[in-house]
């Protein structure tokens, strides 16, 4: 009886080992997720708004409004972490639709960058929502110039007459 039991255990252990070996071989042969370089050929899914030369910007507040916007707590100005703390902001769409990004400056009027996100990206293992229009906007260091697209266009940018999202009230009637 002991011999038959040992044989069953041996057969079970052999079957488990064979199954584990088969699974391991399958994992080595069949790529899963983004194991290839498909992620390096994705269209942009985030919009860059900032200085292209790592220059500190006089931004005092950033607000977002619209159905495609990320949560407000996830929108902030960032720099290189060593010499600058505020050179740009990136906006990644959370849905298809519009997202107005209000940027309040300490040395010039607030500006609104009107961004638009299209349908989900369906290319390989890429994720996110496609960008409709410019994906890079340049904030000039000069306070007498406005935000433009990287190609110089400004049709997606306007001045905010209310002073911006989260800006202190000017005391006047809205």
Q: Which pLDDT value is given to residue 111?
A: 95
The pTM assigned to this predicted structure is 0.71
Phi, psi of 140 (to 5 degrees): -75, 155
Where do we find the tokens 């996110």? 128
Q: Which pLDDT value is given to residue 7?
A: 60
Buried-state track 38-57, b at ≥16 Cβ within 10 A, e below 16: eeeeeeebebbbbbeeebeb
The tens place of each residue's pLDDT in the chain, 174 residues long, gives 555 555 655 545 454 545 445 444 444 444 444 555 666 788 899 999 999 999 999 999 999 999 999 999 999 999 999 999 999 999 999 999 999 999 999 999 999 999 999 999 998 889 999 999 999 999 999 988 999 998 878 889 888 766 544 444 344 444
- Residue 2 half-sphere exposure toward CB, CA atoms < 13 A: 0
Chain segment 71-87, per-residue pLDDT in tens: 999 999 999 999 999 99
Chain segment 138-151, per-residue pLDDT in tens: 999 998 899 999 88
């Amino acid at each position: 009886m002991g011999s038959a039991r040992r044989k069953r255990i041996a057969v079970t252990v052999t079957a488990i080992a064979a199954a584990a070996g088969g699974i391991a071989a399958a994992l080595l042969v069949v790529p899963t997720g983004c194991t290839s370089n498909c992620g390096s050929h994705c269209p942009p899914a985030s919009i860059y708004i900032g200085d292209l030369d790592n220059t500190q910007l006089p931004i005092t507040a950033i607000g977002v409004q619209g159905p495609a916007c990320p949560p407000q707590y996830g929108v902030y100005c960032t720099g290189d972490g060593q010499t600058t703390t505020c050179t740009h902001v990136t906006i990644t769409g959370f849905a298809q639709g519009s997202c107005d990004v209000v940027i309040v400056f300490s040395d010039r009027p607030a500006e609104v960058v009107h961004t638009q996100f299209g349908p989900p990206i369906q290319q390989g293992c890429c994720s996110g929502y496609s960008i409709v229009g410019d994906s890079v906007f340049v904030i000039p260091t000069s306070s007498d110039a406005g935000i433009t697209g990287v190609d110089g266009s400004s049709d997606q940018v306007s001045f905010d007459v209310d002073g911006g999202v989260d800006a202190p009230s000017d005391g006047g009637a809205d």
